[in-house]
Amino acid sequence: MLLHIPKVLTADEVAEFRRRLEGAEWTDGRETVGAQGAKVKHNEQLPDTSALKAELSAAVLAALKRNPTFFAAALPRKILPPRFNRYAGGGEYGFHVDGAVMHIANGEHLRSDLSCTLFLSDPDAYEGGRLIISGSPGGRGIALPAGDALLYPANSLHRVEPVTRGARLASFFWIQSLVRDNEQRRMLFEMDTAIQKLTLDGADEDAVLQLTCVYHNLLRHWSET
């Protein structure tokens, strides 16, 4: 399931992020990938040791926490602290698949069920830089408005096209979900969305209650705590 989540960050928050990132000290993005990824990755990242990275990462996590669509779709159990990257001057990331298990801290690890890209530059600020996800409907590149996020399965083969003008700024991170299976997670999200709409439309309360019970019992059956 590919899901466009609009307005994770407000316009003011995006402007502040960009202001802070303009003066940032970037490092070679290949420092955070394995040997295979390093062959096709050509971008810049905020170092994991950067105080700015830690501050902005906390702000992204706070924004995600208040976003009900993100929670309903991802059902997060763990989130890798968000990182930040910059593509410019032909920077790109060739086709790759994200690592299955990632180190968080203090010996803790995360299974990457979902990937998320939070766009910090509007599409008209750069040329190229589209996110290409193999097998996605239409096969077209994705470039969302600044502040919007794209959630997609972490096992997807994907790439970022070369940026030939301007700069593409984004935050990216991975999620271990309470529900490991993508199809089960998709069905739960669709059911949750339908329940919310039926409630707003004033549907029969007993029927909505019954559907809500089914949702929670499926979540109880499929979730890993």
96 is in an annotated binding site: yes
Contacts of 155 (CB under 8 A, 6+ apart): 97, 98, 100
CB atoms within 10 A of CB 93: 22
28 is in an annotated binding site: no
| Strand 158-160 versus strand 131-133 pairing type | antiparallel
Phi-psi region of 61 (alpha: psi -120 to 50; beta: other; left: phi over 0): alpha
Determine which helix (DSSP H) or strand (DSSP E) holds 64, and give its type and residue range.
helix 51-65
168 is in an annotated binding site: yes
Inter-residue contact 9 to 17 (CB < 8 Å):
yes
Determine which helix (DSSP H) or strand (DSSP E) holds 152, and give its type and residue range.
strand 149-153
Which residue ranges are tagged as binding site?
Answer: 96, 98, 158, 168
Which residue ranges are tagged as binding site for 2-oxoglutarate?
Answer: 168
Which residue ranges are tagged as binding site for Fe cation?
Answer: 96, 98, 158
